[in-house]
Amino acid sequence: MKKIIITCSLLTLTLGVKAQYVSLTAAEVKTLKTAVEKDARVQKEFAEWKQVAEKALNEAPNPIEKVTSQGLLQGNPAKTASLKAVADAPKIYALALIYRLYGNKDYLNKAQEYLTAWAQINKATGDPIDETKLEEMFTGYDLIRDEVSKPNKQAIDTWLESIAHAEIHSVSATPTKSTSKNNWNSHRIKIITQIAYAIHADKYRDTITAELEKQLAQNLYPDGSSFDFAERDALHYHIYTLEPLLKALIVISRANGKNYYSVESPTKSSVQKSVQFLVPFVTGEKTHGEFANSKVKFDRDRAANGEKGYVAGAPFKQRNGIVVLSLAAYYDTSLVKTIQQVAGNEYYDWQLVLNQVRQAKK
């Protein structure tokens, strides 16, 4: 595999071109519409989004000034309120998706209502674990931004850029903190990338390149494991760092053709190696007791709080790795067979639908 070499061509990201790299292009929307009509697997996955959108039409936005979830135990009132508020995110994506497919402006108007409500109330915090929960707002907005009214577009763009700016200057990225290289930083990079491409803020292009390349070298290890796996002794967190990295990689690949999936970093790590590290645990060839030797006190606190999935030594659940394999299948379609080996030949999810649509237009 080729090593990463920073050149002028790599730094010339095409953020200024008004194409939809975060969500779906116009051609991909047409392909999806056909798939919804003809492919039973796609119909089933789409039906869930359609149901969310139809319900959201009759609901009111529930924005919150500050998303507060990270570091809090289940049952904490602030966390409960925040998780209830960010449930607006999939509603926005669903409304935008239905509009793009079928052109009913009731869905467009409702999506704008949700987004402008959040733009008016929500304040950026620079906390990537909290703000990563807004992801479907970014992707939903990307779907409809070209048709949002000018005043609303200005307000939403300003709000989203404030989030990107706060993440760029986040305290969590302070070099002396572990959060500057663990999953927090992966989520931070994903947020910056998705927002920058959604609002076409080309001034962030060099930052995205530099931050991503640094993270691939420091967060992922040459043997395929990760800083997060070493720190938490949990595949749960290996997954939690790969998921946002893959989402950022896919946006960049779609924008400029740069394949960061298989490229080796200067430390000889790569996303591909880290995905392959996970595969035998997903297939069941290997097993792992989660959090048995975690170095993080919060993991023990969650276990003591009775939170499912954080009991030290509990076996890793194979299906929990499918989210990463579905994302990685954008680059390596052979991973679909691995997913079906675990979940059955009929298994399909929305990420696999997006891969199918996007690959048809490559």
Which pLDDT score, from 0 to 100, does residue 151 have? 97
Q: What are phi and psi of 223, to 5 degrees?
A: -85, 0
In a domain, 27, yes or no: yes
* Backbone torsion region of residue 70, taken as left when φ is above 0, otherwise alpha when ψ lies between -120 and 50, otherwise beta: beta
What pLDDT does 19 receive?
A: 82
Coil vs helix vs strand at 210 = helix
pLDDT at 17: 41
Tell me which residue has tokens 């936005």. Answer: 61
Asked whether residue 267 is assigned to any structural domain, the reply reads yes
The per-residue pLDDT for range 85-100, each reduced to its tens digit, is 999 999 999 999 999 9
Determine the distance from the C-alpha atom of residue 299 to the mean position of all C-alpha atoms in its chain, rounded to a whole number.
Answer: 23
The predicted model scores a pTM of 0.94
Tokens in use for 327? Answer: 């994302």
CATH assignment of the domain containing 106: 1.50.10.100
Residue 3 maps to a domain: no
Backbone dihedral region of 171: left (phi > 0), alpha (psi from -120 to 50 degrees) or beta?
alpha
| 34 in Cβ contact with 246 (< 8 Å) | no
Structure tokens at 99: 């509009």
**Taking 50 as the threshold, does the pLDDT of residue 3 lie above it?**
no
The total of other beta-carbon atoms located within 10 Å of residue 57's CB is 16
pLDDT, tens only, 12-69: 334 434 789 999 999 999 999 999 999 999 999 999 999 999 999 999 999 999 999 9
**Looking at the 3D structure of the chain, how many domains does it have?**
1
The set of residues, in sequence order, having a beta carbon less than 8 Å from that of 241 and lying 6+ positions away, is 182, 183, 186, 219, 226, 227, 228
Structure token digits, residue 53: 């959108």
Structure tokens at 57: 């039409």
Query: For the chain, how are helix, strand and coil distributed in percent, rounded to 5?
Result: 65, 0, 35
Q: Chain-wide mean pLDDT for the chain? A: 94
Structural domain span for residue 248: 8-360
Domain annotation covers residue 169: yes
Mean of pLDDT values over 269-284: 98
In this model, does residue 6 exceed pLDDT 60? no
* Residue of 121, 128, 360, 111 lying closest to 248 (CA atoms): 128
Arithmetic mean of pLDDT, 129-147: 98
Is 116 within the bounds of a domain?
yes
Query: 361 falls in which pLDDT band (50, 70, 90)?
Result: low
Residue 335 in this model has a pLDDT that exceeds 60: yes
Mean pLDDT calculated for residue range 66-95: 97
As beta bridge partners, residue 289 has 315
H or E, element range at 290? strand 289-290
Whats the size of the chain, residue-wise?
A: 362
Q: What percent of the chain has pLDDT over 70?
A: 95
**Region 99-104: what's the mean pLDDT?**
98
Please tell me the predicted confidence (pLDDT) of residue 360.
Answer: 80
Q: Alpha-carbon distance 177 to 92, whole Å?
A: 34
Per-residue pLDDT at 11 exceeds 70: no
- Whether residue 2 lies inside any domain: the answer is no
Give a yes or no: residue 148 inside a domain.
yes
Angle between helices 40-56 and 350-360 (to 10 degrees): 110
Torsion sign over Cα 144, 123, 69, 299 = positive
Is there a domain that residue 22 lies in? yes
Per-residue confidence band for 362, with pLDDT thresholds at 50, 70 and 90: low
pLDDT of residue 308: 86
Question: Measured between alpha carbons, how far is 108 from 10 in angstroms, rounded to an integer?
Answer: 35
Quick: pLDDT tens for 306-319: 998 899 999 999 99
